[in-house]
Amino acid sequence: MTLDQTHDPALRSWVAAAHEPGADFTPQNLPLGLISAGDGPRPAVAIGDRAVDLRRARDGGLLATLPREVAAALDAPVLNDLLALGRPALRAVRAGVSALVRADTLEGQRAAKDAALAPRLAEVEVLLPMEIGDYTDFYASIDHATNVGSMFRPDNPLLPNYRHVPIGYHGRASSIVPSGVAVRRPQGQTAATPQGPPTFGASARIDYELEVGAVIGAGNALGTAVPIARAEEHLAGLVLVNDWSARDIQAWEYQPLGPFLAKNFATTVSPWIVTLDALEPFRTAARPRAGDEPAPLPYLSDQTDVARGGFDLTLEVWLRTARMREAGTPAERLSQGTFTRMYWTLAQMLTHHASNGCNLRPGDLIASGTVSGPERGARGCLLELAWRGTEPVVLSNGEERAFIADGDEVILRGWGERAGAARVGFGECRAVLLPTGA
């Protein structure tokens, strides 16, 4: 993919909110999603504070350039059929909507274009855009892996396999929810010591994890691998992911098979898929291997991926407590990090995932694992930020947090921004934690 007219930073839209300072859904972004205004789910593209209803735009003759199979895919109740057509189909939708929202194309089609706009995003239900058949969570931040490892294995924080193999686990797709859906504090077994005995009750150590997720577009057949040079052909776009974690349940159950009930009670995702094409201006080199770090095995090595397998994205975590809401005070930022420091690229994760013949399907989700950096302010979860509860975060109103409290709202934000390119953002990934049984 190369830059084209859809990336032009001078591109202006007749949707005024797309040009407000800090706007995520600029004319150069055009993320894909699913909305409902009381008339069932409909595929849409976000622009400013509005959304283009793709069916209405198609039926109004505003997307006449779409190939027949792409236009037909817009009739499905979720985006999976469109995703299955691969990146060329998404590129066609992007080009068509870009032409539709350009400020210099408004006159002469004003009525049709107004009809294609859904009500303001604040007035519609924004749904999970795809049916997620499978969800895999990786562990791709070496800073996060080292920090967590040092808490439990001070003399050996990073296990020998980490630098050779993208580590991941199979998550639970049924409990993935879009931004805005509240999450309930889970119950489970916990123990004061690794030897037990356990008790059963509400988790006392709920945590968030700041992650980036990749949505699978075109899949691969069972029994076939995906060469790394072609991995990104299977990636539709990116979302933000909050992999909620019950750390006390996790500490008791993770031996010997890894995460289970501590992770599968809820995962929150941002509901707008920012396509890889929209992120083209923010491509960057993969994290270089240090002199003492092994080169990836050949099946995970590709010069193009080395040169541009990374994404220069800024990622933040914000917290708004119940007391803050009562006082009318805004959320407070807990951390800010970058996606450029990931040890494994998304292409490497996908290639490894399919290397044994595992079939990835349209709409599947793979997540990066917690995105952290070497500085305290870049740590992507409270386990690290409050260092296992021993260094609680002190908020400006005097409240302290070692873990998330009932009534807290966690908000993830992310965007790409650089000189010579328009800002491209993900929108928010937010959820309030409710008490057990609420």
Q: How confident is the model at residue 153 (pLDDT cuts 50, 70, 90)?
A: confident
pLDDT at 108: 63
Collapse the DSSP code of 321 into the 3-class scheme (helix H, G, I; strand E, B; otherwise coil) and give the result.
Answer: coil
Does 378 share its domain with 246?
Answer: yes
Does 202 share its domain with 255?
Answer: yes
CATH code of residue 273:
3.90.850.10
Q: Domain residues for 148?
A: 135-434
Give the bridge partners for 317, in sequence order. Answer: 335, 412
Does 203 share its domain with 300?
Answer: yes
Q: What is the longest distance spanned by two Cα atoms in the chain?
A: 74
Q: Is the pLDDT of residue 255 over 90?
A: no
Q: Is the pLDDT of residue 414 over 90?
A: yes
Q: What b/e sequence results for 299-311 when a residue is b if at least 16 CB atoms lie within 10 Å of its CB, and e otherwise?
A: ebebeebbebbbb
pLDDT at 154: 85
User: Among candidates 265, 278, 271, which has minimal Cα distance to 130?
Assistant: 271
Does 41 share its domain with 112?
Answer: yes
Tell me the mean pLDDT in the region 271-279: 98
Average pLDDT, the chain: 95
pLDDT at 106: 63
Does 103 share its domain with 219?
Answer: no
Q: Is the pLDDT of residue 438 over 60?
A: no
CATH code of residue 101:
2.30.30.230
Tell me the mean pLDDT in the region 55-61: 93
Does 358 share its domain with 389?
Answer: yes
Query: What global pTM score does this model have?
Result: 0.97
Give the bridge partners for 34, in sequence order. Answer: 43, 127
Higher pLDDT, 348 or 120: 348
d(CA 389, CA 382) in angstroms, rounded, equals 8
7, 144, 234, 352: the catalytic one is 144
d(CA 252, CA 260) in angstroms, rounded, equals 11
> Of 94, 127, 160, which marks where a domain is finished?
127
Question: For residue 186, what is the DSSP state?
Answer: P
C-beta atoms surrounding 81 within 10 Å: 20
> How many residues in the chain?
438
pLDDT at 39: 84
Does 144 qualify as catalytic in the annotation?
yes
Does 102 share its domain with 144?
Answer: no
Higher pLDDT, 303 or 116: 303
Q: Is the peptide bond before 197 cis (omega within 30 degrees of 0)?
A: yes
How would you classify residue 25: left for phi > 0, otherwise alpha for psi between -120 and 50, otherwise beta? beta
Tell me the mean pLDDT in the region 220-238: 98
Per-residue pLDDT reduced to its tens digit, 179-201: 999 999 999 999 999 899 999 99
Collapse the DSSP code of 392 into the 3-class scheme (helix H, G, I; strand E, B; otherwise coil) and give the result.
Answer: coil
Does 174 share its domain with 211?
Answer: yes
Q: Is the pLDDT of residue 272 over 90?
A: yes
Q: How confident is the model at residue 246 (pLDDT cuts 50, 70, 90)?
A: very high
Q: How confident is the model at residue 71 (pLDDT cuts 50, 70, 90)?
A: very high
How would you classify residue 223: left for phi > 0, otherwise alpha for psi between -120 and 50, otherwise beta? left
Per-residue pLDDT reduced to its tens digit, 303-352: 999 999 999 999 999 999 999 999 999 999 999 999 999 999 999 999 99
Does 334 share its domain with 411?
Answer: yes
Does 146 share its domain with 87?
Answer: no
Residue entry with tokens 């089609």:
109
Does 93 share its domain with 206?
Answer: no
Per-residue pLDDT reduced to its tens digit, 14-42: 999 999 999 999 999 999 999 998 889 99
User: Among candidates 274, 166, 161, which has minimal Cα distance to 212?
Assistant: 274
Per-residue pLDDT reduced to its tens digit, 386-404: 999 999 999 999 999 999 9
User: Among candidates 247, 169, 211, 257, which has minimal Cα distance to 410?
Assistant: 211
Collapse the DSSP code of 376 into the 3-class scheme (helix H, G, I; strand E, B; otherwise coil) and give the result.
Answer: helix
- The span from the first CA to the last CA of the chain, in angstroms, equals 48
pLDDT at 113: 83
pLDDT at 107: 65
Alpha carbon distances (Å) from 350 to 167, 285, 368? 12, 18, 11
Does 89 share its domain with 202?
Answer: no
Give the bridge partners for 401, in sequence order. Answer: 393
pLDDT at 315: 98
Residues 6 or more apart whose Cβ sits within 8 Å of residue 379:
144, 147, 335, 337, 372, 373, 385
**CA angle in degrees (0–180, nearest 5) for 424-366-431:** 65
> Of 127, 146, 170, which marks where a domain is finished?
127
Cα dihedral 34, 37, 39, 40 sign: positive
pLDDT at 156: 84
Structural domains in the chain (count): 2
User: Among candidates 99, 94, 113, 121, which has minimal Cα distance to 12?
Assistant: 99
> Of 127, 148, 181, which marks where a domain is finished?
127
Residue entry with tokens 């800002």:
423
